[in-house]
Amino acid sequence: MSKLKAFLLVAGAVVVSAVVAGAVGAGAAVALVKQAYNGPIRSDADQELVIHSDILGEDVVLQVRLPRAYSGGADPGFPVLWVLDGRSQSGQLARIADTMAEVDLLPPVIVVGVPHSGAGRTSDFVHPGERFDRQEGQADRFLEFLEDEAIPAIDAAYSTSPERLIAGHSLGALFVTYAMLRRSELFDGHLAFSPSYWVSDRALVEDLEVFFGGTAVFGEHSFFYASLGSNEGWEMEESFEAAKAVFEESAPDNLTWEMTITEGADHGDNPELSAAKALRAYGDFAAGQ
């Protein structure tokens, strides 16, 4: 495939998505944030890796999408993009990442889709001490699962490099930010699409202020990207701008970050419409290291 053709495929996908995406409306964020994204969606993963989690107390099916350049044991090792709400979110990110790799805008990456646990995403993605939708937040438990069980399992089964990214949408984006605060060196890149910073009276925004104010510990270089659709409603927008203000005032020098508005996007289609920009920004960041 020529670089021009691959570029046109990316552009065409974005245009088509913008045309066919339904208008959700300003009040949709609250409803969509509660949606069980791991519903009965057909998997197009290359492979599935089933692991038993002692931390979660259940078996977990990781969906693995390998880059076109992957050949197995002879590979030097590929970065891994971990995608929350795997069944609904990882497929489109894998397709965009593959196309961008074809035109040398991003190194080839392994994409791993992670489902939420049986406790539900409103538990897994909300930080402890807070309640949402009548559930106690257990983000600390889910982060421990990723760090101690899921990541080692993928590293043992596939040819991976130490470079890792994590991406999430809505409550998943809330968790992405939480992961950056609690295990800032676990992932090199953090991609947060339509983060629900309004949850629990913006508790995570307050955590950002504390974290940047004195407890921030990053690796030599780290990357954070967040996007919000322009049609997601005032509650999403105001909490997003509040978080952005904290980044502008207090983010450490060794954290490269970007927070942008996706014009015309709503809560449902913002991840697809902003993913290429997020991955391109990370690719530029990684190339400069």
Please write the tens of the pLDDT for every residue from 115-153.
999 988 889 999 887 666 667 778 999 999 999 999 999
Contacts of 169 (CB under 8 A, 6+ apart): 37, 84, 85, 89, 193, 194, 270, 271
How far does CA 50 lie from the centroid of its chain?
21
Q: Give dist(CA 196, CA 186) in Å, integer.
A: 22
Give residue-wise pLDDT tens across range 243-274: 999 999 988 888 999 999 999 999 999 999 99
Share above pLDDT 70 across residues of the chain, in percent, rounded to a whole number:
80
Q: Give dist(CA 70, CA 74) in Å, integer.
A: 9
Share above pLDDT 90 across residues of the chain, in percent, rounded to a whole number:
55
Spell out a b/e string for 239-274, using b for 16 or more CB atoms within 10 Å of the CB, else e: bbebbbebbeeebeeebbbbbebbeebbbbbbbbbb
pLDDT (average), residues 188-207: 93
Q: pTM of the full predicted structure?
A: 0.83
Q: Find the radius of gyration of the CA atoms of the chain.
A: 18
Give the pLDDT confidence score for residue 5 in this predicted structure: 37
pLDDT over 60 (residue 36): no
pLDDT band at 100 (very low <50, low <70, confident <90, very high): very high
Give the pLDDT confidence score for residue 201 in this predicted structure: 87
Give the pLDDT confidence score for residue 289 in this predicted structure: 72
pLDDT band at 200 (very low <50, low <70, confident <90, very high): confident
**Other Cβ atoms within 10 Å of 206 Cβ, number:** 13
pLDDT band at 61 (very low <50, low <70, confident <90, very high): very high
Q: Give dist(CA 284, CA 223) in Å, integer.
A: 11
Match 């996908």 to its residue by tokens. 13
Q: Please tell me which residue, 33 or 186, carries the higher pLDDT value.
A: 186
Contact status, residue 183 vs residue 216, Cβ threshold 8 Å: no
Contacts of 87 (CB under 8 A, 6+ apart): 37, 38, 39, 41, 43, 63, 113, 115
Q: What is the mean pLDDT of the chain?
A: 82
pLDDT band at 112 (very low <50, low <70, confident <90, very high): very high
pLDDT over 90 (residue 9): no
Give residue-wise pLDDT tens across range 158-180: 999 999 999 999 999 999 999 99
pLDDT over 90 (residue 51): yes
Tokens, residue 57: 């107390």
Compute the C-alpha angle 96/98/100, nearest 5°: 70
pLDDT (average), residues 227-245: 97
pLDDT over 80 (residue 4): no
**Other Cβ atoms within 10 Å of 42 Cβ, number:** 6
pLDDT over 60 (residue 213): yes
| CATH number among 3.40.50.1820, 3.30.70.1350, 1.10.10.60, 3.60.9.10, domain 3-287 | 3.40.50.1820
pLDDT over 60 (residue 33): no
Tokens, residue 169: 């949408």
Give the pLDDT confidence score for residue 12 in this predicted structure: 39
Compute the C-alpha angle 279/198/209, nearest 5°: 75
Q: Give dist(CA 210, CA 225) in Å, integer.
A: 20
